[in-house]
Structure 1
Amino acid sequence: MRRGYLHITRFPVQRKVIESPALAGQPLVLVEEVRGQRRVAFASTRALKAGVRPGMTLTAATALEPELRNFPYRLKDEAQALTALGESLLGLCPGFQRDAPDGLWFDASAAHLVGGEQELGARVLEICGEQGYRAHVTVASEAFTSRVLARHGSRRVEVVPEGQGVRALAPLPLSALEDAAAKAFSVLGLSTLGQVAALPAGAVTARGGAAAARAHARCRGVDDTPFTPEPLEEALEDRVVLDAPADTFEPVQFALKTLLDRLGARLSGRQRAAVRLTFVLRLDPTGEAQVPLLLARPTARAKLLLDLARHRLGELRLERPVAEVAVRVDAHDEDLGQQLALGDAPEGDAALEGVLSRLATTLGEEALFAASLQAVHRPESAHTPRAFHPPETRRGLLSPSGLLAPAPEGERPGAPITVWRETGAARERPSRLLAQPARLDAEVTASGEMLAARLAGRRHRVTGMAGPERLGGEWWTDTPYQRDYYRVHFEGLGPAWVYRDGRDGDFYLQGLFD
């Protein structure tokens, strides 16, 4: 099969700088405990220029660079971040396989859907760049070929045609083998993978055994290593441990951006959109605060999620400093995208979405209402307000196992929710309807034209009137109706929807236009 390899140069260091932008360009190392000593696992470019090398003790590294900053190297955090990056690629490839600590393979069999393998590699790098990572991609038929060329080649995107692995590997240095076999071949005076590939297979096996034979085969473009896709976690959650407990919002804000950038990329890769989130702030030394966030509309846009999270958490008062920030997706939905009407601006739509979500989180889930159409023709009963939720047919909640489950009975609206939109034939319908029409004390000419009307004790002169639109029905009931509707502009009141009742000839106020 055709597979690609994504190599993120010193991935843990890049991840750290993305989480803490102030570290950009600074000398820093990630350290781990090795036999009771703190040793360098990864170093930044500036630290490397100062002579710091992986495996060196932290004491020796600090002697070389007095300004060196150090942070713990946590395997779990690195694996989590690498998995999140792999999930963000799922919109381009069917699966990925991690190659810790700084790379992953991905299935390139669907490259024809995006214009070929070269374009696929460019798209993969584009997704990495959106998350702040610098990387290299190679697409080849063998796992070894793709991995080594991505790590040691010079091109940002390289595609190795079928059967051309040995030619592509030939110029690479012997150190690209990255195993004990490299030392055995260096003793023979060899310096490139091409020279290794030119050796007789029998002689290599006789001298170096199975390990040398395997390295020799790989240098000749022969590699049967299987591709094993990573199983996707059913629960979508992520966390960032702060370098030091924070008693101000700024460090928490940086952690939120990292989390939501990753979460948005994971959701996009899975073609999902978040409906409900929970932020968990773990405090130092103990305790935690859980803050829910209900979205007015399912979304995977990290920027919108971050804006809403800032609004929700920015004024939160906690008794202790925050040591860790986590986010969990409690409910998600299929991401079908969004179709805007001609002339609509995405920025305005995003602003409205932010306002709706802020209202829901500030005032409570049941405080936000939408119009639900009813199966009746009488205008005052044609729709009723209902608590706002994403449409029931597309809504799902995460069960304890992480699988999608139906929304609880108490949270499901009784009918599909439809927002009353002023389009087409409904253009003249008001946005505010009275629960019951209000009778108007109208001044009418002999020809039936309205001149003025009294409402709440005040006289309002009519400055404009359009209509009529005749509506009638329910003749089979005890309360049939026959009405002529007008759009009337009252001085001091604005445009209103008024009808004249066919039974008594009186005028009634049905609603007001915004």
Structure 2
Amino acid sequence: MSILYCCISDFAPALVRRDDPRLQRRPLVLIDPEERVFAASAEAAACGVVVGQTARAAEVRCPEAHLMETDLARCRSEFETLLQLLEHTSPRVEPHGWGAAYIDLGNLVQRHADGVSLCQEVGRAVRRELGEPLQPALGWDRTKFTAQAATKCTQPGHLRAVDSVRERAFLQPLPVTLLPLGIDALQRLGFLGLRTLGQYATLSPGAVWQQFGRAGRLAQRCARGEDDRPVVPRSQERRLAAHYELENPLAEQQHLLTVLRHLVSPLLAGLRENLQACGQMRLTVHFADNNAQERARTFLFPTAEEKRVLLAIEHLLNQMSWQAGVEALEVTLERIQDTVASQLSLFPGETERERKLHKVQHYLAARFGANRLRRAVLSHPGAPLPEWRASWLEES
């Protein structure tokens, strides 16, 4: 396979700043319809603002931030423009969260030089269509995971091509938090002292399966450069459905929720085992009076979390009008895609710590002036008094 990963960092904030350049130098926080953080600019993230926080918590973390409602229709429209543009290069394009997608170049590339040229042309086409603030970082490799990881090691407007011969060497020092595992699994890896992909890759496959199940084993294959997951174009998106017929019509909502939990739990467990999530859930209810009602919920971020899906199901049930008891239930999970690793800073490596520290440093220097920052250094470690051993250096 030959796979290009196209990623526009901070897609929603970059889109807002493109349309309103006055917001370029100010921390920006976008709020979703539930009054929680949908996206945050790098400056706001450096102050501790994270996706899912309440708007009030974001204000406390970053008082200088400009908070505004997210124009979801605008975000979806621009993302659709991006996907259609990528599909001009290859019809096999798979969305992967906001502002990112895999492109299967297939037989379009015969030589390495031709592949580099084609990838660079894709980047230029995106920049021409969406504008300079939305230029993507590009990663190219034979596997999906390594291509995605490559974008974390390059800047917007640049391409990182990974040689298949050096794939393992490239992956080894990268943080294990790049893996699309759940928070619990990442925490356990941290408790075990596993910080890099190289450390995780060298574990016994049997031990990984015993500790983390099928999802952990698939993640280990990713860490080893053995990811064989294909790019699934939108026209071939997979759906999962489950149907249940009740022996007697049921009208009690709590009982229906219990049935729906047993119905949807195996579907979600299967997604988690395959490192996947669903972007939309559809609920169909058949009533005893031969009437049927259908409702759908689109998730802002694809999920396989049972709690989130059950809350969505309860919300859809509340939207329905009840004229008779329920005879049958059907749940369909749609827009299935690979899980997006969202906890990249849970156990950051040294390079990631330094990168984030530099972001904070630049922000503080812009706000208070560069001459206000000092760095403590151990200049005289052998001095007899502790206060003589350290000195301050001015940060430029």
Calculate the TM-score normalised by the size of structure 2: 0.52
Say whether residues 1:78 and 2:75 are aligned partners.
yes
- In structure 2, the CA distance between the partners of 1:114 and 1:175, relative to structure 1 (3 Å rule), is closer
Q: Which has the larger radius of gyration?
A: 1
- 1:116 is aligned to 114
Say whether residues 1:28 and 2:25 are aligned partners.
no
Q: Give the Cα separation in 2 of the matches to 1:170 and 1:5.
A: 19
Of the two structures, which has the highest relative contact order with CA contacts closer than 8 Å and spacing of 6 or more? 2
**CA offset at residue 105 of structure 1?**
0.7
**CA offset at residue 112 of structure 1?**
4.7
Residue 94 of structure 2: SS of its match in structure 1?
A: strand
**CA offset at residue 167 of structure 1?**
2.6
Say whether residues 1:210 and 2:208 are aligned partners.
no
- 2:300 is aligned to none
Q: 2:56 aligns with which of 55, 59, 62?
A: 59
Q: Give the Cα separation in 2 of the matches to 1:88 and 1:113.
A: 23
- In structure 2, the CA distance between the partners of 1:159 and 1:30, relative to structure 1 (3 Å rule), is same
- 1:149 is aligned to 150
Say whether residues 1:166 and 2:176 are aligned partners.
no
**CA offset at residue 95 of structure 1?**
3.4
- 1:186 is aligned to 190
Residue 78 of structure 2: SS of its match in structure 1?
A: helix
Residues 323-345 of structure 1 show CA distances to partners (whole Å, capped at 9, x for unaligned) of xxxxxxxxxxxxxxxxxxxxxxx
Contact 2:177 2:186 in 1 (8 A): yes
Between structures 1 and 2, the one with greater helix share: 2
Q: 2:92 aligns with which of 92, 95, 99?
A: 95
Residues 395-421 of structure 1 show CA distances to partners (whole Å, capped at 9, x for unaligned) of xxxxxxxxxxxxxxxxxxxxxxxxxxx
- In structure 2, the CA distance between the partners of 1:206 and 1:142, relative to structure 1 (3 Å rule), is same
- Structure 2 gap segments, 5+ residues each: 237-396
Cα RMSD (Å): 2.5
* Number of aligned residues: 228
Q: Give the Cα separation in 2 of the matches to 1:165 and 1:114.
A: 15
Q: Give the Cα separation in 2 of the matches to 1:165 and 1:83.
A: 31
Q: Give the Cα separation in 2 of the matches to 1:208 and 1:178.
A: 13
Contact 1:184 1:208 in 2 (8 A): no
**CA offset at residue 64 of structure 1?**
3.7
Q: Give the Cα separation in 2 of the matches to 1:96 and 1:60.
A: 37
Residues 411-443 of structure 1 show CA distances to partners (whole Å, capped at 9, x for unaligned) of xxxxxxxxxxxxxxxxxxxxxxxxxxxxxxxxx
- Structure 1 gap segments, 5+ residues each: 233-514
Contact 2:140 2:150 in 1 (8 A): no
- In structure 2, the CA distance between the partners of 1:165 and 1:30, relative to structure 1 (3 Å rule), is same
Q: Give the Cα separation in 2 of the matches to 1:72 and 1:211.
A: 36
Between structures 1 and 2, the one with greater strand share: 1
* Pairing 1:255-334 to 2, within 5 Å after superposition: none
- 1:8 is aligned to 8
Contact 1:204 1:212 in 2 (8 A): yes
- In structure 2, the CA distance between the partners of 1:225 and 1:26, relative to structure 1 (3 Å rule), is same
Residues 244-275 of structure 1 show CA distances to partners (whole Å, capped at 9, x for unaligned) of xxxxxxxxxxxxxxxxxxxxxxxxxxxxxxxx
Contact 1:118 1:158 in 2 (8 A): no
Contact 1:32 1:39 in 2 (8 A): yes
- In structure 2, the CA distance between the partners of 1:145 and 1:69, relative to structure 1 (3 Å rule), is same
- 1:127 is aligned to 125
Identity across matched positions, percent: 26
- Specify the code of the residue in structure 2 equivalent to 1:44: S
- In structure 2, the CA distance between the partners of 1:115 and 1:161, relative to structure 1 (3 Å rule), is closer
- In structure 2, the CA distance between the partners of 1:189 and 1:92, relative to structure 1 (3 Å rule), is same
- 1:289 is aligned to none
Q: Give the Cα separation in 2 of the matches to 1:101 and 1:56.
A: 18
Contact 2:201 2:224 in 1 (8 A): yes
Residue 234 of structure 2: SS of its match in structure 1?
A: coil
Contact 1:166 1:197 in 2 (8 A): no
- In structure 2, the CA distance between the partners of 1:184 and 1:56, relative to structure 1 (3 Å rule), is same
**CA offset at residue 66 of structure 1?**
3.6
- Specify the code of the residue in structure 2 equivalent to 1:99: H
Q: Give the Cα separation in 1 of the matches to 2:54 and 2:125.
A: 35
- Specify the code of the residue in structure 1 equivalent to 2:162: V
**CA offset at residue 229 of structure 1?**
1.8
- Specify the code of the residue in structure 2 equivalent to 1:26: R
Q: Give the Cα separation in 2 of the matches to 1:113 and 1:78.
A: 36
- 1:42 is aligned to 39
Contact 1:190 1:196 in 2 (8 A): yes
**CA offset at residue 115 of structure 1?**
4.9
